[in-house]
Amino acid sequence: MKKFFALVLALTMALSLAACGESGGAAAGSAGGKGSSGKTLKIGVFEPASGDNGAGGKQEVLGIQYAQSLTPTVDINGETYNVELKVVDNQSTTDKAVSAAQELVSAGVSVVLGSYGSGCSIAAAPIFGSAQIPAVGCSCTNPAVTAANPYYFRVCYIDPFQGPVMANFAKDQFQAKKTYVLTMLGEDYGSNLATFYEQEFKDKLGGEYKAESFPEGTSDFSAYIQNAVAYGADVIFAPSATTYASLIISQAAKAGCKIPILAGDTWESSVILDAQKGSDLQVFCSTFFDENDKSGTAATFVKGFKEWLNADKQRLTDNGGNDIVAAVSALSFDAYNTAIEAIKIANSTKGSDIQQAMFKVDFDAVTGHITIDPDTGDANKGTAYIKQADNGAFKFIKTQSVAE
């Protein structure tokens, strides 16, 4: 009897949940259809809202939402379509990313934006590819994201550019001869960027390096910092997720380490500012755009985005509790606009048409002029901005390019 009762209960729950899921989905479709005058065009937002990259993912979603608030409609064949965002959480892991991507495909989106963290993009790329849905990466810097898939594009620069940039910066700024490289074991972003850094630093710039990695879940970095000191490093290059970054910085500061720490684009985050605050440790990161750039598009974006953030408490919280404009928000803003440009050129909601149109995109975006490379699908970008975390604010240091 008990078993029967349990079974009935389980079945009722399963069925009603399924029914709810279905009706919710169906209702969403119909509501969107008749809710307003025009038709609906769905754009998928494929970002982490939780996990190691959750903080960055939320900032990217903000950039997209802001872009959508500015450009809520798009005209296709004389008809006005309302853009509806479908946000899914890929939880920063490649296995969850597959189902999240599947969900976007089920929802029938026309274009996908994201993800923060290249691993998830690489994992999801075949799904978008086989569904013929073009995807625009915002800040995924691994070359492999677009390499294997004609349906994946991106608006940022890539690791083979970013790594050497930081190596050159170390050389130019600190006359560095020795670098201590620290990455997380099993994280593709860090180890990839580190490899490109090492290659440039050793082969082109004639320095030497020592590379170490820490296991996931490490909290105690004092031994690693000690290793860097013992090695006699001039700079530490530590591209990693912000969760670990704050531990590395605060423990380096505590241990009285004076070696400048360099990292990639992930470190441009308020977490880093908090960790560095109150110490004289020098922390640098490369980034995609300069918030205080006073010329044209970027300045307008920064001003508007700050107002938009301050208008809602939830947005401020998602941004990390302040209104500092992260480069990833600017990138995701650009990614949204790139997608809209492509849709306009394609004059269609069909994925394959939009994919073809991507190569014709040509406009002035916040992070610089955007045109897409016909071979790789990457935006043509050639400048990186170096910023320093300096007592609660990011200070612009210089634009850095790679020595030929």
Partner 1 sequence: MKKNNQRQGLITAGIVIVLLAVLVLLDNAAWVPPMLLTVLRKGVIYALVAVSMNLLNGFTGLFSLGQAGFMLLGAYSYAVLTIPVENQTAIYQQFKNGGLHFSITESLTNVMGEFGTLIGVIICLIIAGAVAALFAYLIGLPVLRLKSDYLAIATLGFAEILRALVQFEKLGPVTNGSNLLYGFTSFSNFQIGTLHLGTVMPFLFSGACIWIVVLLINSTYGRAFKAIRDDEVAAEAMGINLAKHKRMSFVISSFFAGISGGLLAMYQASVQAVTFKSAMTYEILLIVVIGGIGSITGSILASFLFVGCSEWWLRFLDNTTVVSLNGKIASVIVICVAIVGVVALIFWRNRKKAFADKRNTIFLTLIVGAVLLAGQIKFAISSSLQLPLLRSGFRMVIFSIVIMIMVLFFSKGIMGDRELPDLLQKRRNAKAAKASKGGDAQ
Partner 2 sequence: MSRILPYLLSGISVGGQYALISIGYTMVYGILRLINFAHGDIFTVAGLLMVYAAATMPLYISAPLVIILTIILGVLVEKVAYKPLRTAPRMSVMISAIGMSYLLQNTMWYLTGGLAKKYPTLPWISDKINVGGTTTSRVTLITPFLTVILVIFLVMLIKKTKIGMAMRAASRDFETAQLMGVKVDSVVSFTFIVGSGLAAVGSMLYFTNYATVTPVVGAMPGLKAFVAAVFGGIGSIPGAVIGGFIIGICESFIKGASWTTFSDAFTFGLLIVILGVKPTGLFGESLTEKV
Q: Which residues of this protein are in contact with partner 2, per CB under 8 A?
A: 49-51, 54-55, 91-92, 185, 212-215, 217, 219-220, 222-224, 226-227, 230, 242-243, 246-247, 250-251, 254-256, 271, 274
Q: Is 23 left (phi over 0), alpha (psi -120 to 50) or beta?
A: alpha
The tokens of 308 are what?
Answer: 């938009």
The tokens of 4 are what?
Answer: 């029967």
Name the binder of 180 from partner 2, partner 1, none, CB < 5-8 A by kind. none
Where on the chain is the footprint of partner 1 (CB under 8 A)?
2, 5-7, 9-10, 12-14, 16-21, 23-24, 27-28, 30-32, 49-50, 89, 93-95, 98-99, 102-103, 105-106, 119, 122-123, 125-127, 130, 143-144, 147-148, 183-188, 190-192, 195, 211, 213, 215-216
Q: How far is the CB of 246 from partner 2 (least distance, A)?
A: 6
Spatial separation of the C-alpha atoms in residues 199 and 188, rounded to whole Å: 17
**Whose Cβ is closer to partner 2: residue 254's or residue 369's?**
254
Q: How far is the CB of 93 from partner 2 (least distance, A)?
A: 11
Spatial separation of the C-alpha atoms in residues 283 and 245, rounded to whole Å: 10
The tokens of 144 are what?
Answer: 């492999």
Do 301 and 288 touch, CB atoms closer than 8 A?
A: no
Q: How far is the CB of 223 from partner 1 (least distance, A)?
A: 17
Largest CA distance in the chain: 79
Q: How far is the CB of 175 from partner 1 (least distance, A)?
A: 27
Polymer length in residues for the chain: 404
Tell me the C-alpha to C-alpha distance, in Å, between residue 87 and each of 103, 109, 124, 145, 390. 10, 11, 15, 20, 34
Name the binder of 18 from partner 1, partner 2, none, CB < 5-8 A by kind. partner 1
**Whose Cβ is closer to partner 2: residue 220's or residue 404's?**
220
Name the binder of 143 from partner 2, partner 1, none, CB < 5-8 A by kind. partner 1
Q: How far is the CB of 400 from partner 2 (least distance, A)?
A: 29
- Residue with structure tokens 């004289």? 280
Q: How far is the CB of 221 from partner 2 (least distance, A)?
A: 8
Alpha-helical (H) ranges within 258-380 are 270-276, 296-310, 313-318, 327-346, 351-358
The tokens of 279 are what?
Answer: 């110490």
**Whose Cβ is closer to partner 2: residue 112's or residue 225's?**
225
**Whose Cβ is closer to partner 2: residue 243's or residue 348's?**
243
The tokens of 232 are what?
Answer: 């006699």
